[in-house]
């Protein structure tokens, strides 16, 4: 049975009814196409018998959900939980800690890396789901019958997957690995609060020298603060491409901005003075070290050799190579090793990879 919850009193009664559950299946629907912050549209909860659909836009106080989801005695079963945790964190200051992510568990028992919920469900049970309303408007009311069925399906099968995956994790002896992965996921969700988070993930920084990188960091952080304050997508403030052009050209005055290719007059009018001010402030910032350039042929060859070695290792032990290490991480390692000091990605500095993956990679470098 599906219960529709659209007021505080009903929500409080619902959460009190669910308070003693040791496991709850959880999912959310949200939209963030025109805003910086995700707009929570629906929370789905399943307790093994019934489904509750929480109409969050119509409930001002979500404190009962916070108490329910932060209960240390209750495991929340979710699939690909990172974005759901992010939206709960922003919308209602909900910070769950006891999570079972079926996507993470599936990757650790060799079912598939980053497998979809529908794909995992079909793989383990043969059940096929219809995903026709995935991108529909979840903020519109009333929801259609198709949306309600979709929302129910997204949680109704999680408990079955949970039981199957718990058995497989035990059979593979990888529960400690799973706990490490959940810890990393929660840390990554928290890291998104940092103003510098997006700068660290900007691609193409190797093309800039240290001075320009320092400006890029300053501008990226300014844009992040502005996007959050205005609740607008980053790219609607100023695009990544324009940030790079500003950092490369280092305009000194408002009039210099008109020479920046593709920087349109509206952006100059609205943000021009801020941009020039931030560039000037950057001269007092700690310098950002330049990043090694793209790998040469020998570097690319080494990345392929290490990746193939880990692929072979993983196949023998039924571990997807993507779980062991990504090619991007290997490129970081090989690039940094060329300067004589290996920069280990965070995933390889703690948890199960320290004893299993890191020694294999270290073996390719004589000075490690």
Cα–Cα–Cα angle for 29, 31, 36, nearest 5°?
Answer: 135
Paired residues of 27 in beta bridges: 44
Q: Do the strands 23-31 and 39-46 form a parallel or antiparallel pair, or are they unpaired?
A: antiparallel
Pair (277, 325) in one structural domain: no
Higher-pLDDT residue of 159, 97: 159
Among 191, 210, 230, which residue terminates a domain?
Answer: 191
**Is 254 among the domain residues?**
yes
Residue 13 above 50 pLDDT? yes
Same domain, residue pair 187 and 201: no
The stretch 196-216 carries a mean pLDDT of 95
What is the tens place of the pLDDT at every residue in 229-283?
999 999 999 999 999 999 999 999 999 999 999 999 999 999 999 999 999 999 9
Given a cut of 90, whether residue 118 has pLDDT beyond it is yes
Does 177 share its domain with 266?
no
Same domain, 154 and 259: no
Residue at which a domain ends, from 139, 163, 191: 191
280-293 average pLDDT score: 91
Residue 366: predicted pLDDT: 67
Instruction: Examine the fold and report which residue of 251, 284, 317 is the final residue of a domain before the chain moves on.
Output: 284
In a domain, 305, yes or no: yes
- 57 falls within a domain: yes
Whether residues 216 and 354 share a domain: the answer is: no
Q: In the prediction, which pLDDT does 292 show?
A: 77
Beta bridge partners of 54: 5, 43
Establish if 122 belongs to a structural domain.
Answer: yes
Least Cα distance to 106 among 118, 89, 93, 90 occurs for 118
| Domain-embedded: residue 47 | yes
Q: What are phi and psi of 2, to 5 degrees?
A: -110, 130
92, pLDDT greater than 70: yes
Q: Report whether pLDDT(367) > 60.
A: no
Count the neighbouring beta carbons within 10 Å of the beta carbon of residue 307.
17
Render pLDDT for 32-80 as a digit per residue (tens, 0 to 9).
989 999 999 999 999 999 999 999 999 999 999 999 999 999 999 999 9
Q: Is the predicted pLDDT of residue 337 greater than 90, yes or no?
A: no
Q: Are residues 158 and 203 in the same domain?
A: no
Residues 75 and 174 in one domain: yes
Within this chain, do residues 357 and 275 fall inside the same structural domain, yes or no? no
| Average pLDDT of the chain, as a whole number | 95
Query: Do 54 and 139 share a domain, yes or no?
Result: yes
Q: Is residue 248 part of a domain?
A: yes
Q: What predicted TM-score, i.e. pTM, was given to this entire model?
A: 0.93
* Residue 159 sits in the same domain as residue 175: yes
pLDDT confidence band for 368 (50 / 70 / 90):
very low
**Stretch 20-34: mean pLDDT, rounded?**
96
3-class secondary-structure state, position 209: coil
The DSSP bridge pattern shows strands 2-5 and 75-78 to be unpaired
pLDDT > 70: percent of the chain: 99
pLDDT above 90 (res 295): no
Count of CB atoms situated within 10 Å of the CB of 53: 21
178/201 same-domain check: no
Q: Is 231 within a domain?
A: yes
Do the domain assignments include residue 368?
no
Structural domain of 27: 2-191
User: What CATH number corresponds to the domain at position 255?
Assistant: 1.10.150.80
Q: How many domains does the chain have?
A: 3
Q: Are residues 133 and 89 in the same domain?
A: yes
Q: How far apart are the first and last CA of the chain?
A: 59
d(CA 100, CA 311): 26
Beta bridge partners of 3: 52
Mode of pairing for the β-strands spanning 2-5 and 39-46? unpaired
CA separation for the pair 44, 113 (Å, rounded): 25
């Amino acid at each position: 049975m599906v219960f529709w919850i659209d007021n505080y009193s009903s929500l409080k009664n619902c959460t009190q009814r669910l308070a003693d559950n040791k496991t709850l299946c959880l999912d959310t629907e949200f939209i963030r196409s025109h805003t910086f912050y995700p707009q929570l549209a629906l929370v789905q909860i399943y307790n093994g018998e019934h489904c509750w659909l929480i109409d969050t836009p119509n409930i001002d106080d979500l404190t009962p959900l916070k108490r329910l989801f932060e209960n240390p005695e209750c495991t929340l079963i979710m699939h690909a939980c990172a974005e759901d945790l992010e939206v709960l964190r922003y919308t209602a200051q909900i910070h769950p800690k006891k999570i079972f992510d079926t996507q993470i568990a599936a990757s650790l028992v060799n079912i598939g890396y980053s497998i979809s919920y529908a794909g995992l469900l079909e793989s383990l049970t043969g059940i096929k789901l219809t995903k026709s309303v995935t991108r529909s408007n979840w903020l519109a009311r009333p929801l259609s019958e198709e949306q309600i069925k979709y929302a129910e399906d997204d949680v109704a099968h999680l408990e079955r997957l949970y039981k199957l995956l718990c058995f497989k994790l035990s059979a593979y002896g990888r529960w400690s690995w799973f706990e490490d992965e959940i810890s990393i996921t929660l840390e990554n969700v928290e890291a998104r609060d940092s103003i510098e988070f997006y700068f660290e993930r900007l691609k193409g920084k190797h093309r800039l020298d240290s001075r320009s990188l320092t400006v890029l960091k300053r501008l990226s952080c300014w844009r992040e603060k502005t996007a959050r304050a205005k609740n607008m997508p980053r790219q609607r403030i100023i695009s990544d491409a324009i940030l790079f052009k500003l950092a490369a050209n280092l305009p000194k005055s408002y009039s210099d901005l008109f020479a920046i290719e593709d920087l349109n007059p509206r952006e100059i009018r609205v943000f021009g003075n801020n941009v020039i001010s931030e560039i000037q402030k950057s001269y007092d910032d700690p310098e950002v070290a330049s990043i090694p350039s793209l790998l040469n042929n020998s570097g690319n060859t080494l990345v392929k050799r290490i990746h193939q070695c880990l692929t072979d290792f993983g196949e023998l032990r039924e571990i997807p190579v993507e779980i062991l290490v990504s090619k991007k991480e290997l490129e970081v390692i090989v690039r940094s090793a060329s300067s004589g000091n290996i920069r280990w990605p965070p995933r390889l500095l703690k948890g199960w990879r320290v004893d299993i993956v890191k020694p294999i990679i270290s073996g390719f470098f004589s000075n490690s």
